[in-house]
């Protein structure tokens, strides 16, 4: 009677929690506890009577699995593969402990069967407590659930192998055969689990790469949209403040003081924006605006007249080399000149124009008298003079890529550099305006 009672408790809890774990995430599962408990108790009672007349633990294990799957399907409309994955994984873990503990306690140490049943029941109680109190253990069982359609075969193979181990442990008289088969089954099962884990890891990495690729595409689309809007704003602000100045003069001509005051309030922030370079090329704009800010900080007037062509084959790094070195040299020379003459005589003027397929960059800046080598090349003058040397050589190297040339001249304390470069137009994307 004691064995029957413990067997009933073990089977009823196995069925109850096996079904409950399957439908734990199902909406409204908490309202079905009473129904689930009654069905689990009824199924466990029938299985106990069957085990009393049957001597096949493997067949009992299959019937137990079928009962869990049937009750789960009735209560929760899950996919059969998910039910099979969940049920086989759950029972495999329990049967593995049962098999090992039975071989050790009953077959090796000859402990009475009732003590093994008590151990199995206590183990299940601890297992269920750990399962519902430990988030990591529950997550370990549920994380691969999204891959159950490809992993359910692993759980089915594990259930079959462990059920055979359990059957041999009960029906075989010699201990050696179950031990050997158990080692073989566990080895194969371990390899299958490793392969399943590798597959899950591969699937996750594949999904991660797909997500990163999608984010990359979205960023490229956003960049294209922002760049298109940036180019449109460049054209808008290029001469906008000049139009406002004309309107302001007209209001003064026709004696409209209130309108003139209103336009003055609008011109002030627009003039600040308009003083920046808006060429439509981010590299060019960054270099020009950063040097413009340095000139303003040093109190050196800087004027820019930019008409930069869109969509050329001139690379951004070459433009960076040319413009940054030119303007840095000009800033240093103008700063040196400001120490020798009144500040109002120091200035920097940059003009960029296109003539056909030729880009012309003309820079004029206040500068002390430069010095030349006997070969006619400018010498470096970091202390108080215009900085030429490696910077100018880098400029020459970049200009030569586009079949260009550099000309320099000096007169009345103004150093002038003129650069011409040939470029090829690049066709614009049809989607762009």
Mean pLDDT for the stretch of residues 27-48: 77
pLDDT tens column, 267-312? 665 555 445 566 667 777 788 888 888 888 888 889 888 877 767 7
The dihedral region occupied by 62, where left means phi > 0, alpha psi between -120 and 50, and beta the remainder, is alpha
Residue 364 CA to residue 361 CA, distance in Å, equals 10
In a domain, 217, yes or no: no
Please give the structure tokens belonging to residue 44: 């466990």
Claim to verify: residue 310 and residue 264 sit in the same structural domain: no
Phi and psi of 172, rounded to 5°? -80, 140
Question: Is 130 found in the same domain as 40?
Answer: yes
CA distances from 419 to 53, 318, 404, 406 (A): 103, 13, 7, 5
Lowest-confidence range among 166-180, 201-215, 217-231? 217-231
pLDDT at 429: 47
- Say how far apart CA 219 and CA 36 lie, in whole Å: 51
For residues 248 and 143, state if they share a domain.
no
Residue 234, in any domain of the structure:
no
**Chain CA centroid to CA 180, Å:** 49
Whether the model clears a pTM of 0.75, i.e. scores above it, the answer is no
Q: What are 334-370's pLDDT values in tens digits?
A: 888 887 777 667 889 999 988 888 999 999 999 888 8
At 355 the three-state DSSP class reads strand
Q: CA 201, CA 394: separation in Å to the nearest integer?
A: 50
197 and 302 inside one domain: no
What's the confidence (pLDDT) of residue 419?
A: 94
Whether residues 54 and 110 fall in one domain: yes
Answer yes or no: do 332 and 255 share one domain: no
Q: Are residues 266 and 358 in the same domain?
A: no
> Is pLDDT of 388 > 80?
no
Domain check: are 65 and 154 in the same one? yes
- Final residue before a domain boundary, out of 247, 274, 301: 274
Examine the fold and report which residue of 212, 229, 258 is the final residue of a domain before the chain moves on: 212
Give CA–CA dist 163/198, Å, rounded. 25
pLDDT of residue 327: 92
List 410's β-bridge partners, or say none.
415
Into how many domains does the chain fold?
Answer: 3
175 and 196 co-located in one domain: yes
Q: 348 — phi, psi (to 5°)?
A: -135, 130
User: In terms of domains, do 342 and 262 share one?
Assistant: no
pLDDT of residue 386: 43
Residue 349: the pLDDT is: 93
Q: Are residue 104 and residue 83 in the same domain, yes or no? A: yes
Structure tokens at 370: 């430069």
Between CA 37 and CA 18 the distance in angstroms is: 11
Q: Residue 316 sits in a domain of what CATH number?
A: 3.30.565.10
Position 394 in a domain: yes
pLDDT > 50? residue 103: yes
- In this structure, what DSSP letter does residue 432 have? -
Domain range for 372 is: 278-422
Say yes or no to pLDDT of 377 above 70.
no
What's residue 296's pLDDT?
86
The rounded distance, in Å, linking the Cα atoms of 302 and 347 is 6
392-408 per-position pLDDT tens digit: 788 888 899 898 999 98
At CA 143, angle to CA 139 and CA 144, rounded to 5?
145
Per DSSP, the three-state class of 62 is helix
Asked whether residue 114 is assigned to any structural domain, the reply reads: yes
* Per-residue pLDDT band at 390 (split at 50, 70, 90): low
Contacts of 175 (CB under 8 A, 6+ apart): 103, 107, 108
* pLDDT, mean over the chain: 77
């Amino acid at each position: 009677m004691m064995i029957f009672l413990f067997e009933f408790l073990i089977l009823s809890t196995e069925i109850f929690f096996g079904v409950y774990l399957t439908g734990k995430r199902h909406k409204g599962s908490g309202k079905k506890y009473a129904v689930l408990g009654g069905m689990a108790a009824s199924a466990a009672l029938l299985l106990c009577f069957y085990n009393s007349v049957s001597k096949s633990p493997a067949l009992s294990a299959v019937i137990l699995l079928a009962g869990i799957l049937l009750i789960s399907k009735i209560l929760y409309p899950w996919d059969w593969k998910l039910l099979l994955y969940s049920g086989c994984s759950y029972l495999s873990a329990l049967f593995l402990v049962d098999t090992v503990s039975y071989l050790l306690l009953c077959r090796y140490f000859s402990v009475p069967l009732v003590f093994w049943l008590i151990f199995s029941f206590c183990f299940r109680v601890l297992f269920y407590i750990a399962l519902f109190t430990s988030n990591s253990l529950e997550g370990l069982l549920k994380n691969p659930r999204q891959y159950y359609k490809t992993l359910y075969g692993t759980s089915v193979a594990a259930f079959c192998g462990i059920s055979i181990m359990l059957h041999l442990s009960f029906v075989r008289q010699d201990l050696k055969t179950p031990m050997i088969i158990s080692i073989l089954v566990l080895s194969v099962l371990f390899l299958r689990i490793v392969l399943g884990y590798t597959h899950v890891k591969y699937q996750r990495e594949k999904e991660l790469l797909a997500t990163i690729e999608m984010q990359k595409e979205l960023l490229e689309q956003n960049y294209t949209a922002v760049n298109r809007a940036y180019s449109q704003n460049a054209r808008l602000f290029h001469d906008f403040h000049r139009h406002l100045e004309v309107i302001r003069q007209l209001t003064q001509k026709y004696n409209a003081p209130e309108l003139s005051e209103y336009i003055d309030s609008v011109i002030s922030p627009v003039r600040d924006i308009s003083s920046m370079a808006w060429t439509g090329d981010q590299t060019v704009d960054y270099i020009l605006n950063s040097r413009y800010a340095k000139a303003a900080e040093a109190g050196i007037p800087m004027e820019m007249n930019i008409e930069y062509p869109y969509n050329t084959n001139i690379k951004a790094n070459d433009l960076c080399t040319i413009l940054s070195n030119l303007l840095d040299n000009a800033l240093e020379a103008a700063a040196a000149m400001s120490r020798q003459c009144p500040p109002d005589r120091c200035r920097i003027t940059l003009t960029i124009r296109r003539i056909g397929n030729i880009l012309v960059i003309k820079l004029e800046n206040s500068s002390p008298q430069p010095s030349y080598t006997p070969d006619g090349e400018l010498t470096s003058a970091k202390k108080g003079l215009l900085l030429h040397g490696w910077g100018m050589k880098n400029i020459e190297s970049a200009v030569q890529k586009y079949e260009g040339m550099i000309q320099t001249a000096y007169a009345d304390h103004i150093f002038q550099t003129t650069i011409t470069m040939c470029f090829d137009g690049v066709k614009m994307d049809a989607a762009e305006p």
